[in-house]
Homo-oligomer: A and B are copies of this chain.
C-alpha cells in the first residue's frame, strides 16, 4: 500500500519494536538493525528510502554508519535522519558533515515523528521528480501537473489514464472505445474527439498527439 522502505537502527530492542510497530501501522515496510555495522549491511540489501538511526550505538555510531552508507553510493541514495538525545547536540555538526538529512530529537511524540517522516519522504519524492510528465493519481482522482492538481470528470480521467498508461503507444479508436466505454456501448464518432479536446485544454496541447487514421498517443 505504502511503497516506502524504512530502515530503523537502534541498539534498544524496545525502541525498535515500538517504532517499528507504529511505522508498519502506517504502511511502511520496516527493517531493523541493532548497530551501525548491521545498518550498513542492511542498507545495502534493502535499499531503503529512509534510514532512521540513533546516534549512540555500540560498535559503530550513527555518524560513522551514515558516512559508510553514503560512500557506498546506493541508488537512489537513502534519506538519513538521526535520532538525537538532548545533550548530544554538540555533535550535530558532525552529523551534517556526515551527510544527515534531518535531526529528530528524542524523546519525540509518535505522531510528530510520523508527520515528520511523511514530510521528509514527500519532500524527497517531490524533488526527485522535477515535474516533467503528469501524475495520474487514481486514489485522489486527480491529475498532477507541475505540482498542481487538475480535476477532470470521469470519462476524461479514464481516457487520459489509458493513454498515459503507455506513453508513446498509439491507441486506436477501437481500443479506446473498448477500454473507456466498454464493448457494448455505442457512441458517435466525434465523442472521443471532444474528450481529447478537453484533455488538451486542461493539460496543454503537446501531450496528446493525433495520428490520423491510426489513433492517439500520449507523450510526456
Contact = CB atoms under 8 A, between A and B. Distances in A.
Contact of A140 (B103, B157, B169): B169
Contacts of A127: 112, 115
Nearest to A137: B168
Interface in A102-155: 102-103, 105, 108, 112, 115-116, 118-120, 122-123, 126-127, 139-141, 151, 153-154
A212 to B, nearest CB: 7
Contacts of A115: 101, 123, 126-127
Interface in A71-94: 86, 89-90, 92-93
A215 to B, nearest CB: 8
Interface in A195-220: 211-215, 217
Nearest to A102: B119
Nearest to A86: B93
Interface residues of A, number: 37
A21 interface: no
B92 A213 contact: no
A154 B140 CA distance: 26
Given A154-B213, A213-B153, A217-B140, A96 B108 contact: yes
The 6 closest A-B pairs by CB, nearest first: A89-B90, A154-B213, A141-B170, A93-B105, A140-B168, A89-B92
